[in-house]
Amino acid sequence: MTSTSSSALPDAPEKQGQLLNEYSGHQELVILRRGSLRLREVPSKGSSGAELASVYLAHGTSVTLRSDKAIEITAKIPERREYVLIATSNSEAESWHNAIRAALRAEDVKMNALRQMMEEGATMHKYNYSNSK
């Protein structure tokens, strides 16, 4: 049995910054952490900013870097959603695009490791009652 330890899994990138939401026309605080992308209102003095949306970067999610400093994210889980976030520069857009792609790859590796563990079974599930006699 081949086991994949959690230390062998790649670290998912973390990133935070403000991007313009093309659909709402508002600056939003974008937080990339632990395989999810969260969109929040930009915090004002005395408030933390309400959460506007959260996207789990799972299988079926895609990210595209457009030529107009925009990052287009299409998610299928928990439902089909599309976000277009606009950076202030091409390099910032590329940085976000690369971080989101890395997060997608990290989630894919994590899910494959979990799938493999389920296919191989855990020792507890393979334990036979007759072994305890």
- Strand-pairing partners, residue 54, are 38
Cα gap 35→50, rounded to integer Å: 20
Predicted TM-score (pTM) of this structure: 0.75
Name residues of the chain where pLDDT drops below 50. 1-7
Q: What is the pLDDT of residue 113?
A: 83
Helix (H) or strand (E) holding 37: strand 36-41
Phi-psi region of 109 (alpha: psi -120 to 50; beta: other; left: phi over 0): alpha
pLDDT tens, residue by residue, 70-97 = 999 998 877 788 999 999 999 999 999 9
Q: What is the pLDDT of residue 2?
A: 38
